[in-house]
Chains A and B, each alone.
Chain A
Amino acid sequence: MIKNHIKIAWRNLIKNKSYFFINIFGLSLALTVSFLMLLWVHDEQSMDRFHENDDRLYLVKRTVPLEHGVLDVYDNSSYPLLRTATEQLPEIEKYLTIGHTFEDNLKVDNNDFRAAGTFANADLFYGFSFPVIQGDITQLDKKPEAIAISESLANRIWGQNWKSIAMGKSIEIMDNGDFTVEAVYKDFPSSSSIQNDFYYSFQKFLNDREWVNEWGSNGMQGVFLLKEGADSQLVSSKLNTLFQNNIKGENKEGCFLQKFSDSYLYGKFNEQAQVSGGRIEYVRIFTIAAFFLLIVSCINFVNLSTVYATKRSGEIGVRKVVGARKNALILQFLSETSIITSIAFVIAFVLAMLLLPSVSSFVDKTLQVDFTKPIFWVSILSVFICTTLFSGAYPAMVISSFKPVEALKGKSREKKSATSFRKGLVVLQFGLTILLIVAAIIVKLQVNYINGKDLGIAKDHIVSIHQDENLTEKYNALRNELIASNGIEDVTLVGPSPLDVRSSTSGVVWPGKAVEQENIEFSLLWTAHNFPEVFDVSMAEGSYYREGSKDTMNIVVNQKAIDLMGIQNPIGKTIQLWGKQRNIIGVLKDFHNRSLYEAIQPSVFLLDPNDAGMMFVKLEAKKTKEALASLQKAFNTVLPDVPLHYDFLDQSYAAKYKSEVLTGDLTYYFAFISILISCLGLFGLATFMAKQRTKEIGIRKVLGASVKSITALISKDFLKLVSLAILIASPLAYYFMDSWLEDFAYKITITWWVFAFAGILTVAIALSTIGFQAIKAALADPAKSLRTE
C-alpha cells in the first residue's frame, strides 16, 4: 500500500513540477534555517552543562542595595567570604576560583606569545570537568610560581613534542613575574564559557594583593562545589548571613547562589535581584522566528494542496468508487506529504551542512551536529512529524471527504469554510512576514542609532594600548616621540576605557548625603591632565587638572554627579573621597561611559596617570596607515622589548553591541526568507486562480474588459488579504519591538513610517508576484481559452 502511494506521489510530483517545486523549495528553505537555528539554540543551551558536577556547581552573586530598595547584582564578591564559607559551611565541598581573564604577553626563551589567562587554584580542575594531561595540578596551590597551560598553548610554544619539553620550563608573564610550568591541561571544549590558555598560581595572586583579604573588598569571583545532596537555597541563605555578619554599614550588601550553568543564559537581574533574562532572550527570539518560518512554509503547503486537490477530485472519486475508505485516502495524501517533507528534509540537511561553517563564524561559535546524540534524532523526527501533520492533515481531510459522485464530475467545490480558512492562513502568513520585516527595520535603526549616537566623547581614530611598568617608566619619552611623528595628534593615559567604565567607588561623601545613598557608586577614572582634549570632552564648569603626576587635593566630577549631590555653584566646594577632603575644581560635561543599555553614571575623575592602565593614542583622521607605522617605530625605539598590541576604540565599542548587530542581521535574513516563501505561496495560488478563471476571463475579454481591469480583478482579492495582514500585524509588531527596546536606556522612538514602509514593501512584492500571473491571464487569447473549456 505505502509503496503504491509513494509511486503515485512520485509520478504526481513529476507531473506537477511547479506546485511541488514551490512546496519543496519553501519548506527546505525554512527547514534549513530552522535546523541551523536549532543547532545554535542547542549550543547555547548546552553551554557549561558538560561538567560532571553540573548540578552541584554554584556561582556566588552579590547584591548591592541602592536607593528605594533597588538591588544591583554583581558577579564579584569578597574573598574572605568565599574562604570562610568554604571552611565553615559543611555543605560546601570546594571553592573554585574564577579569575578575570586578561590577554597578556608571555615570554618563553625570548619569544613572545600572546595568550589569555588568569589565576586558579587546583580545585578549579577538581570541581569543573577540565582534565589535566600532564603534570601535577596541585602545585598551583603549593608553589606561587606554578603555572598550568593549555595543550594548544603548549603546542604553540614548543610544537608537537611539547610533552617531552614543557614540564618545568619557565614562562614570564609580562608584569607578573616568572613562572614554572607544572601542568598541561586539555583545551576546554567550546561549550565552556570559561576559556583560558593559562592559569598561574592563585597563591601568587593573593601574595600580590593584600587588600583582597578585607571583607569589604569585592575583588573575587567564586564558584562553589556543593556536597552531594546539599540544599542550595539553604547554603545561599547561610552564605548571606555569614556575609552580613562580617561587613559594616547600615544598608548592607548581600549575596546569593546561582547555578553556574544557568549563569550563561540567565545573566540579567531585575531590581529585586530576580533573574529577568539575558542571552536566553535571544535564544527565545530566534526559536520563535525559526518557528514562524516553518509555519509560513507549511501554510503554503496547506493552501496549495487544498487548492490543488480540486484538480485531483476525479482521482478521489474513482478511488472511493472502487472501495477506498476515507482513512485510506487520508493515509495516501499524508504519505504524499511526507514524501515532499522528506525531500525537503534531505535538501535542508545538505544545505545546512554546507552552510554550517559560514554560519558558525557568523554567530561566532563552533556549531556542530552530534549524530550520536538521541536528542538530535528525536528533534529531527518530531519536527518531521509536526511539519508533515501540520501541512498534510488538513488537506488530506478536505480531499478525502469529497463526495464520490460530485468528485467524479470534477465538481467538488471547497466549502465556504475551507475558502475562508485558506484566506485566514494567507493573512497569518503575511502577518508573520510583516512582523519580521518591522522587527528587522527597528533592530537595524536601533543599532544604527547606537553606532551613530553622539556619545559626548570621541571614539574614532583612537587606539588603546595596555599600559605596563615599562610603558609607565618610559611614557614621557614615548609620548614625545609619538607627538613628533607623522599622523599622530596626541597621547594620553586613562584607565579604564572611558567608553566602558567598570571601576566604581561608593567612597564619595558630600554634605547632606543620606543613609540610603550609602551604596551609590560613582564611576572612577584614572587620567592624565590631557584626557579632555584627547577625547574631545568639554568642561561644563571650571577647568581640568593641570599637568602633574598626582593630585590628591582636588577633584573633577561630571554633571550627573553634581546633580546627584545637589551642589549649587560646585566650583570650590569640598567633598570627600575615601575619607579625604577634596576641592571641586571642574565639572566635565556628561558623556556615555557605559553601554547604551545603561544610563550615564555619576563619575569622579582623578589625576593619576601612572595608575591609569591604558595608553590612548589619537591618530590624525585619514592618516591611519602612517600613524600606525609611526606607532610601531616609536615602540621600536623607546620600548624595544615590549611588543606592540593595540585596539581601535570604535571597534571595541562596536563589539559591545555584537549581539544587537547579530540580531539585526539575522532578523533581516529571517524577514527576507519569510517574504520569499510567502510570495512563493502567493504565486502558486495566483497561478491556480488564474487557470481556474481562464473561462471567466475569456468571456470578460470577449465582452470588452480591458487587460487592466482583469489584472485588477485577480489581484484585488489577494491585496485585500495582505492589507488585512498589515492591519493586524502592525500593532503586534509595535508591542513586541517596544518591549525589546525597553532594555535600552537610550533608544529610538518607533514611528509610523516603519509600518508604512513594511506595508508598502509587502504590498509591492505581493502585487508583483500576483500581477505577473494576472497579466498573463489577462493577455491570453480569449478564443483559445474559451475553446479549452
Chain B
Amino acid sequence: MLLQLNNIFKWVNSGGQRIFLLKDINLNVEEGEFISIMGPSGSGKSTLLNVIGMLDAFDEGEYNFLDESVHTLKEKHRANLYKEYIGFVFQSYHLLDELTVKENLEMPLLYKKFKGSERKAMVADMLDRFNIVGKKDLFPAQLSGGQQQLVGIARALISSPKLILADEPTGNLNSKQGEEIMELFKQLNNEGVTIIQVTHSEKNAEYGSRVINLLDGRMI
C-alpha cells in the first residue's frame, strides 16, 4: 500500500456556512497503479490532488502515506515526506522562466543534499532519457508547449519519486503532444512509478488502470 485516505473532509467557511470541497473521500492506492481522476470543473479534483500531495491540509479524516500518518505529522515532516516521494506535474508546466532547461532540472536537487558532480550526472541522465540534450541551454519561452511539459515531467522525475501527481498535464497541449505525454506516463508506470493524474479526456483516462469520478467533492 502506497497511500490510504479514510473519510477525508475538507471545507471552507464562508459567511458562517461550511462549504465542502471534499466530502468523505476514501481511497487506497497501491504501488504501481495508474489512476485517473475525472469530474466536471469545480468538482474538487485539484483539491484532492493537492491533499494527496500534502500541499494542502484537510479538516477531518485520516491519511496514511507509506505507513506514516500524515494527519498527525508536523508541517516540516510532511514537507520532507512529499519532497522525497512525490513529484508534481502541472497543466501550465510551472517552469521557472529565468532558468534554462538544464537549470530547471537541477533546481529540485539543490534543495536536497547532492554534490555538484552528482547533480550534473543526474541532469545529464534526464536530458538523455527525454531526448532533450540539444535544448539544455534554452529558456522555457524558447520551447513549444509539449517540450515544456516534457521538461516539467523530467523535473518531477529527477529525484526519483515513488508517486507522480499530474493535474491536467495535457490541458494546454494539442492532441498529438498530449498523446506523447500519455505514452511517456505509460512507460514510466511500466517502470514502476505510481501515477495519479487529473484529466478531462476519456481517452487519456484509458491509459490508466483505474478511474475515480468526483462530483461536488464526493467520489461517485
Closest chain A residue to B95 by CB distance? Answer: A318
B79 at the interface (CB under 8 A from A): yes
| A314 and B93 alpha carbons, distance in the complex (Å) | 11
Contact of A323 among B90, B96, B159 (CB under 8 A): B159
Q: Are A405 and B159 in contact (CB under 8 A)?
A: no
Per the bound structure, the CA–CA distance linking A322 and B50 in Å amounts to: 13
Instruction: Identify A408's interface contact among B94, B107, B108, CB under 8 A.
Output: B94
What residues of A have a CB within 8 angstroms of the CB of B59 in the complex? none
Are B99 and A8 interface neighbours, CB within 8 A? yes
A204 to chain B, nearest CB (A): 79
- Bound state CA distance, A278 and B56, in angstroms? 63
Residues of B within 8 Å of A324, CB to CB, are: 111
Contacts of B110 in A (CB 8 A): 1, 4, 328
Contact call A322/B107, Cβ cutoff below 8 A: yes
CB proximity of A766 to chain B, nearest CB, Å: 33
A322 contacts B79, CB within 8 Å?
no
Structural contact, B98 and A321, CB atoms closer than 8 A = no
Identify B79's interface contact among A4, A325, A405, A408, CB under 8 A: A325
Q: Is the CB of A405 within 8 A of B103?
A: no
Distance to closest chain A CB from B43 (angstroms): 17
Residues of A within 8 A of B99 (CB): 8, 11
CA distance A1 to B111 in the complex (A): 9
B55 to chain A, nearest CB (A): 5
Which of B90, B111, B112: most chain A CB closer than 10 A?
Answer: B111
Q: Tell me the residues in window 296-337 of chain A with beta carbons closer than 8 Å to chain B beta carbons.
A: 314-315, 317-319, 321-325, 328
- Closest chain-A Cβ to B164's Cβ sits at a distance in Å of 12
The contact of B98 among A8, A323, A404, by CB within 8 Å, is A8
Residues of B with C-beta under 8 A to A4:
103, 106-107, 110
Q: Which of A12, A323, A404 has the most CB of B within 10 A?
A: A323
Whether the pair B98, A15 counts as a contact (CB closer than 8 A) is yes
- For the complex, give the distance between the alpha carbons of A408 and B159 in Å: 21
In the complex the two chains form, what is the Cα distance from A93 to B82 in whole Å?
Answer: 78
Pairwise interchain contact B50-A325, C-beta atoms closer than 8 A? no
Contact A408 B90 (CB under 8 A): yes
Which of chain B's residues has its CB closest to A7's CB?
Answer: B103
Q: Scoring A residues 425 to 461 as 1 if CB is less than 8 Å from chain B, else 0, what string do you get?
A: 0000000000000000000000000000000000000
Contact digits for B41-63, partner A, Cβ 8 Å, 1 yes 0 no: 00000000010010110000000
**A12 and B98: CB pair below 8 A?**
yes
User: How long is the Cα–Cα vector from A201 to B85 in the complex, in angstroms?
Assistant: 91
Cα of A325 to Cα of B159 in the assembled complex, Å: 16
- Interface flags for B2-17 (1: CB within 8 Å of A; 0: not) read 0000000000000000
Q: Are A321 and B55 in contact (CB under 8 A)?
A: yes
Give the chain A neighbours of B94 by CB distance below 8 A.
314, 317-318, 321, 408
Interface residues of A in 208-235 (CB under 8 A from B): none
Interface check B34, CB cutoff 8 A: no
Q: Give Cα A404 to B106, complex, Å.
A: 20
Instruction: Note all chain A residues with C-beta closer than 8 A to B90.
Output: 408
How far does the Cβ of A96 sit from chain B's closest Cβ, in whole Å?
A: 66
**What's the minimum C-beta distance from A719 to chain B, rounded to whole angstroms?**
34
Contact B112 A323 (CB under 8 A): yes
Tally chain B residues at the interface, Cβ within 8 Å: 22
- Interface size, chain A (Cβ < 8 Å): 21
Q: Check A322/B155 contact, CB under 8 A, given A1-B110, A4-B103, A405-B50.
A: yes
User: Which of B99, B112, B155 counts the most A-chain CB atoms under 10 A from its CB?
Assistant: B99
Q: Determine the chain A residues whose CB is within 8 A of the CB of B83 once the complex forms.
A: 322-323
Q: Taking CB as reference atom, which chain A residue is nearest B156?
A: A322
Q: Please name all residues of chain B whose beta carbon is closer than 8 Å to the beta carbon of A323 when the two chains form the complex.
A: 79, 83, 108, 111-112, 159
Which among B55, B95, B96, B155 is the interface contact of A405 at CB below 8 angstroms?
B55
Query: A residues within 8 A CB of B185?
Result: none
A405-B50, A405-B56 are known contacts. Are A319 and B88 too (CB-CB below 8 A)?
no
For A408, give the chain B residue with the smallest CB separation: B94
Query: Within the complex, what minimum Cβ distance (angstroms) separates A294 from chain B?
Result: 29
Report the separation of the CA atoms of residues A58 and B155 in the bound assembly, to the nearest whole angstrom: 74
User: In the complex, how many angstroms separate the beta carbon of B117 from the nearest chain A beta carbon?
Assistant: 14
**Complex contact B111–A328 (CB within 8 A):** yes
Nearest CB in chain B to that of A13: its residue = B98
Residues from chain A with Cβ under 8 Å of B96 in the complex = 8, 315, 318-319
* Chain B proximity of A15: nearest CB distance (Å): 7
Complex Cα–Cα for A15 and B96 (A):
13
Is A325 within 8 A of B111, CB to CB? yes
Interface residues of A in 386-425 (CB under 8 A from B): 404-405, 408
Interface centre among A1, A11, A314, A321 (most CB of B within 10 A): A321
Q: Whole-angstrom distance from the CB of A487 to the nearest CB of chain B?
A: 75
In this complex, what residue of A is CB-closest to B94?
A: A318
**A325 CA to B98 CA in the complex, in Å?**
20
> CA separation between A317 and B53, bound complex, in Å?
13
Residues of A contacting B106 with CB < 8 Å? 4
Q: Assess the B55–A404 pair: CB atoms within 8 A.
A: yes
**Residues on the A chain within 8 Å of B88, using CB:** 321-322
Complexed CA–CA distance, A377 and B103 (Å): 36
Chain A residues with Cβ under 8 A from B55's Cβ? 321, 404-405
Q: Which of B53, B98, B159 contacts A11 (CB 8 A)?
A: B98
A321 contacts across to B, CB distance below 8 A:
53, 55, 88, 94
**Bound: A309/B5 CA distance, A:** 35
Interface centre among A4, A317, A318 (most CB of B within 10 A): A318
A731 to B42, CA, bound (A): 56
Which residues of the other chain, B, contact A314 by a CB distance below 8 angstroms? 94
Residue in B55, B99, B112 whose Cβ sees the most chain A Cβ within 10 Å: B55
* CB proximity to A under 8 Å, residues B149-173: 155, 159
Cα–Cα distance between A343 and B108 once the two chains are bound (Å)? 29
Measured between alpha carbons, how far is A142 from B106 in the docked complex, in Å? 84
Q: How far is the CA of A324 from the CA of B103 in the complex (A)?
A: 15
What is the distance, in angstroms, from B93's C-beta to the closest C-beta of chain A? 9
Closest beta carbon of chain B to A59's beta carbon, Å: 63
CB neighbours of B98 from chain A (8 A): 8, 11-12, 15, 315
Of all chain A residues, which has the CB nearest B158? A322
Interface residues of B in 121-172 (CB under 8 A from A): 155, 159
Which B residues are in CB contact (< 8 Å) with A12? 98
**Complex alpha-carbon distance, A86 and B96, angstroms:** 80
Residues of chain B lying within 8 A (CB to CB) of residue A405: 50, 55-56
Whether A322 lies near B111 (C-beta < 8 A) is yes
In the complex, which residues 12-54 of chain A have their Cβ closer than 8 Å to any Cβ of chain B? Answer: 12, 15
Residues in B with CB closer than 8 Å to A328 are 110-111
CA distance A537 to B92 in the complex (A): 89
Q: How far is the CB of B209 from chain A (nearest CB, A)?
A: 25
Nearest-CB distance from B74 to chain A (Å)? 13
Residues of chain B with a CB closer than 8 A to A1's CB: 110
Interchain CA distance A324-B88 in the complex, whole Å = 14
By a CB distance below 8 angstroms, the chain B residues around A322 are 83, 88, 107-108, 111, 155
Residues of B within 8 A of A7 (CB): 103
The CA-CA distance from A315 to B96 in the complex, in Å, is 6
CB distance from B90 to the nearest CB of A (A): 7
**Residue of A8, A322, A323, A408 with highest tally of chain B CB at under 10 A:** A322
On A, residues with C-beta under 8 Å from B are 1, 4, 7-8, 11-12, 15, 314-315, 317-319, 321-325, 328, 404-405, 408
Listed by A's residue number, 23 A-B pairs whose Cβ atoms lie within 8 Å are A4-B110, A8-B96, A11-B99, A314-B94, A315-B98, A318-B94, A319-B96, A319-B111, A321-B88, A322-B83, A322-B107, A322-B108, A322-B111, A323-B79, A323-B83, A323-B111, A324-B111, A325-B111, A328-B110, A404-B55, A405-B55, A408-B90, A408-B94
Q: A319-B111, A322-B108, A328-B110 are in contact. List 12 more A-B contacts (CB 8 A).
A: A4-B103, A4-B106, A7-B103, A8-B99, A314-B94, A319-B107, A322-B107, A323-B83, A323-B112, A323-B159, A405-B50, A405-B55
Binding site for A on B (CB under 8 A): 50, 53, 55-56, 79, 83, 88, 90, 94-96, 98-99, 103, 106-108, 110-112, 155, 159
Q: Please provide the 8 A-B residue pairs with the shortest distance between their CB atoms, ordered closest to farther.
A: A323-B83, A322-B108, A323-B111, A11-B98, A318-B94, A324-B111, A405-B55, A404-B55
